[in-house]
Amino acid sequence: MKIIKRSGEEAVFDITKITGAIMKANREVESDHRLSVEQVQRIAAKVEKDCESAIRAMNVEEIQDLVEEGIMEEGAFQVARLYITYRYKRQLVRQSNTTDGQIMTIIESQNEEAKQENSNKNPLLASTQRDYMAGEVSKDITKRVLLAPEVWDAHEKGLIHFHDADYFAQHIHNCCLVNLDDMLQNGTVISDTKIDKPNSFSVACTVASQIIAQVASSQYGGQSISAYHLSKFVKNSREKFTKEVKREFEKSGIEASDEQIKEVAEDRVLKDIEKGVQTIQYQVVTLMTTNGQAPFITVFMYLDEAEEGQDREDLALVIRAILNQRILGVKNEQGVYITPAFPKLIYVLDEDNIYEDSKYYDITELAAKCTAKRMVPDYISAKVMKELKQGNVYTCMGCRSFLTPDRFTAAGAGNIANAQNYEEGKQKYYGRFNQGVVTINLVDIACTSNGDVEEFWKVFDDRLELCYKGLMARHNRLMGTKADIAPILWQHGALARLGKGETIDKLLVGGYSTISLGYAGLYECVKYMTGKSHTDESAKQFALDVMQHLNDACAKWKEKENIDFSVYGTPLESTTYKFAKCLQKRFGIIPGVTDKNYITNSYHIHVTEEVDAFTKLSFESQFQKLSPGGAISYVEVPDMKDNIPAVLAVMRHIYDNIMYAELNTKSDYCSECGYDGEISVITDDDGKLIWECPNCGNRNQQTMSVARRTCGYIGTQFWNQGRTQEIKERVLHL
């Protein structure tokens, strides 16, 4: 049986340490107040039994709580007092330096929490360890200096989650939409080197790859770029190759018609597109940013972003190339093609590509094949998005965080970011960003209220006030930040072209950027308060009321601060496990509510609930409308490579019913035996869930590739115990 030490290191449960600690306190009281040996053994045995029956590895603090309870139950109050005093003194010693132990276990690759914190970070790498080490220092400063004690205390208890505390000490933000068009068309500067406008598509892709890496190293969240901003350079390639081919024919003394020249040049254009797309794919997965991972990058593919005519045809060529490259995949160490995590792809469904007689339906079919094999692209319905975003269609910032519709243009704010591609009166999205996230634990609100509805809303408001304080701390941390801190972002076009020494303050208010109120566990919250899933018609209205309450709070804060607060369906990669552990500690095991090592993401139907794909997407669309700051729905499906018509049917349903959704297909590989089917076996290994190849029984997590969608992005390492249990318990929707 395993336990988790304070440093995060995994260790084997040792009952002698419990008996030893009790006996130490026991010896310091008068003999007539001491516990007998039998009582000490009884307490230790009960603690061991409680740890064995737990549905996860207990940490040291929880075990010491059990020891205290055991001593009290035996009536040995003086022993208990000494034991508690000893714990308190040790806590004071630890607080005098809160980072050394954590950092040492990170360096030695012994920190289980770090190992499972991010499924796209390899904790064995020096670069990742360096990022984690810096993160421990940042968290310590945040805890002791930067954040209000009541906010940090709520974060520690799992009442809320103050995201990315490991980066909060720095003046950096969350995620963004890169204004790649401005940077490529008007030039930029990378590492003090002037980069002029590219002369071909493939060169534009190379420059874009460098921009992506620089942006990722200057923030801590995801970023998105538009395929259209790249496809504009297909024209440059065409002009370049047409001249080349013409010269070659003339030099060879061969007479060629314009049509023949065009045919040869177009063949070179297609090869240039293929080369450029491959460059982005391989650059992104092989680049290592300063935070020890590949850039969290999304490529947005929207045909109608380009004007009808040659511009749109060129974009169509690029989208086809992107999809074909992703279908191929990338080679692993053994030379086998596997599914890469990045870039994430988003394909927009619209009238000109959704029906069989649509002009670009062939691209939609290609997208369906790509999803079936590689899990991407994900899908945005232009029809539904226009209804929800004031007629606009634009990408999210990374996996799901959406900007609020542009309100500053109509207010006459003008070109506040000094973008060189600014168009008067046109609503602006590229070049905008998100300031950060604080998430509220809806399950804890319900459990704290003890099922009393009036108390529920009171506790809800108290917790929202804590979130507001946390979000304003994020905003105020960015206020006064000078553009010099990240030139690629603030001076050279990714987000703005501000002057040296100029602050970013004007970009933090008035709706230019957003700030996110996250939420988690709507299902469990409703289950506790009503006894039913929110899919039950009698419980659904309560769930909708909860969502509306979040939106009302954001509207109130927006009015007060002139900042675009927005409700955001938190991805919860590691937070799901943290919240679950905190709930179990505070309220014990409540069937259907706290009896899992995870809580449900945002508004989603519980992963174990039997429901078909079409019903799930239609139901969740009601809640996606109330999550304007970001949300994504998914359906869990089996291997769909031989059932593309079913994938297309789901895509058509997405187009008609929900703004943003994805299909969770499977894409795995075992290096030990070459098995490339679904690795579906998750087994218990001495209290720890691990993956096992169903073909050869391989349990070495380093010699298998398992790709799963866990938080909008695809994860390709492995996950914490809570998320692993959630993946194991998912039911199929198709």
Q: Hey, which residues are catalytic here? A: 174-175, 397, 399, 401, 434, 568, 573, 712
DSSP 163: T
List CB contacts of 415: < 8 A, sequence separation 6 or more: 422
Count CA atoms within 13 Å of residue 404 on its CB side: 26
Task: For residue 34, give Cα distances in angstroms to 37, 38, 39, 43, 45.
Answer: 9, 11, 10, 14, 18
Phi, psi values for residue 384, rounded to 5°: -70, -40
Count CA atoms within 13 Å of residue 236 on its CB side: 17
The shares of helix, strand and coil residues in the chain, as percent rounded to the nearest 5, are 50, 15, 40
d(C-alpha 717, C-alpha 369), whole Å? 24
Helix (H, G, I), strand (E, B) or coil at 633: strand
List CB contacts of 53: < 8 A, sequence separation 6 or more: none
Cβ atoms of 299 and 334 closer than 8 Å = no
Structure tokens of 474? Answer: 């994020």
d(C-alpha 534, C-alpha 443), whole Å? 13
- Amino acid making up residue 379: Y
Q: Which residues of 222-236 are buried (b: 16+ CB within 10 A; e: fewer)?
A: bbbbbbbbbbbbbeb
Task: For residue 220, give Cα distances in angstroms to 144, 151, 664.
Answer: 22, 21, 25
